[in-house]
Amino acid sequence: MNTIYLDNNATTKIDPLVLKEMMPFLTDYYGNPSSMHKFGGQVSSDIAKARHNLASLLNAQPDEIIFTAGGTESDNTAIYSALEAQPEKKHLITTRVEHPAILNVCHHLEERGYEVTYLNVDEKGRLDLEELRGALRPDTALVTIMYANSETGVIFPMHEIAKIVKERGIILHTDAVQAVGKIDINLEKLPVDYLSLSGHKIHGPKGIGALFVRKGVSFRPHLRGGHQEHGRRAGTENTAAIVGIGKAAELAQINMEIENTGVKHMRDTLEKGLLKTIPDAIINGDTENRLPNTTNISFKHVEGEAILLMMDGHGIAASSGSACTSGSLEPSHVLRAMGVPFTFAHGSIRFSLSRFNSDDEIKVVLKELPPIIKRLREISPYKNEESTPRSCSCK
């Protein structure tokens, strides 16, 4: 049975063209790009090409791109860089709905004496920009706000955020791992200082990412050692993966239009079809400002994990959002921050599509899912409860 893969915000399939581009670097071209001989030098021009492709996708300069080992490293590097560059400033601002690669760094920093402001979101997952404005302080070292939410697809108004933060001269980082390749990002017009992205979220390989650091903005390396990446990230380059993310960036640019037409159309068909055939279902998040590939739907009185298991039995792969500890019955931190009622939050499913999905696959989901929900509701222990506030204690 072929899997219908609708979990592209967790990771994506490597585009076959990316793999083809990478293969020679795992076989014949194994030279170290730092070596003096031709064997190494040749590889270094392929790295330069990849850097150029990434810069071009973001409308940045190639020397503003630092390769890292993924989105997590880029996020960590950005935060620690801003703090180390301004040791007298002990305050950070972020949001309640960030990826753990941001939130857990912030929690760690709180234990080390930093103060962190976590901005709230409303019931649609939107920020209050006045709350952001009010949170900025003279000792704020960094504002780090994600571009688009992995679980709901909600896009934050990054241009307005940048205007507010940069007026005060504070360093601004955005985790754009979910936004890159799905929506247009033009760093010549968008004055963020640091931006994180990841290879495996854009049909490239895992374990490779990049951090954009705007020219002239303070930067302190997270990894020290050799002189790779102009001394900004030490360690022998992961050449095959770098070539892979470069090709993925090139293809993302070419396919951006498809993301916003074909992929969006499939997502909308899925969403409308499910709302029409399944009662007591709601969409989570601001549908006006949302990634074209994502929908997060809650089905009242059913457990997301049960839905996932039954869909899995039909070869459909999706996600229940990130339950904070696997096996726990706590709804995701994002839905809790949005105040989604308990009876809905537990039954939430995230479908995230890609250009490798087809209309036929969406038809299969529309046929298989309604009877699954019906059956689970028949056996649900909650079906007679209304909004029982079973407490959520998970941090």
Catalytic residue ranges:
324
From the CB of 101, what's the least distance to ligand PLP, in Å?
4
Both structure tokens of 140: 């704020």
Indicate the pairing of strand 115-119 with strand 294-299: unpaired
Identity of the residue, 22 or 274, whose beta carbon is nearer to ligand PLP in the bound complex: 22
Spatial distance between the Cα atoms of 338 and 326, rounded to a whole number of angstroms: 21
Indicate the pairing of strand 294-299 with strand 348-352: antiparallel
CB 66 within 8 A of CB 242: no
Identity of the residue, 176 or 187, whose beta carbon is nearer to ligand PLP in the bound complex: 176
Q: Is 102 helix (H, G, I), strand (E, B) or coil?
A: helix
Indicate the pairing of strand 115-119 with strand 91-95: parallel
Distance of CA 1 to the CA centre of its chain: 29
From the CB of 248, what's the least distance to ligand PLP, in Å?
12
Q: Which residue is nearest to ligand PLP (CB)?
A: 71
Q: How far apart are the two ends of the chain, measured CA to CA in Å? A: 38
Chain residues in the site for ligand PLP (CB under 6 A): 70-72, 75, 99, 101, 146, 150, 175, 177-178, 198, 200-201, 209
From the CB of 42, what's the least distance to ligand PLP, in Å?
28
Identity of the residue, 292 or 342, whose beta carbon is nearer to ligand PLP in the bound complex: 292
CB 296 within 8 A of CB 151: yes
Q: Taken in order 248, 250, 255, 260, is the CA torsion positive or negative?
A: positive
Distance of CA 19 to the CA centre of its chain: 22
**Residue (of 103, 111, 44, 32) closest to 72 by Cα position:** 103
From the CB of 302, what's the least distance to ligand PLP, in Å?
25
Identity of the residue, 145 or 307, whose beta carbon is nearer to ligand PLP in the bound complex: 145
Identity of the residue, 83 or 145, whose beta carbon is nearer to ligand PLP in the bound complex: 145
From the CB of 209, what's the least distance to ligand PLP, in Å?
5
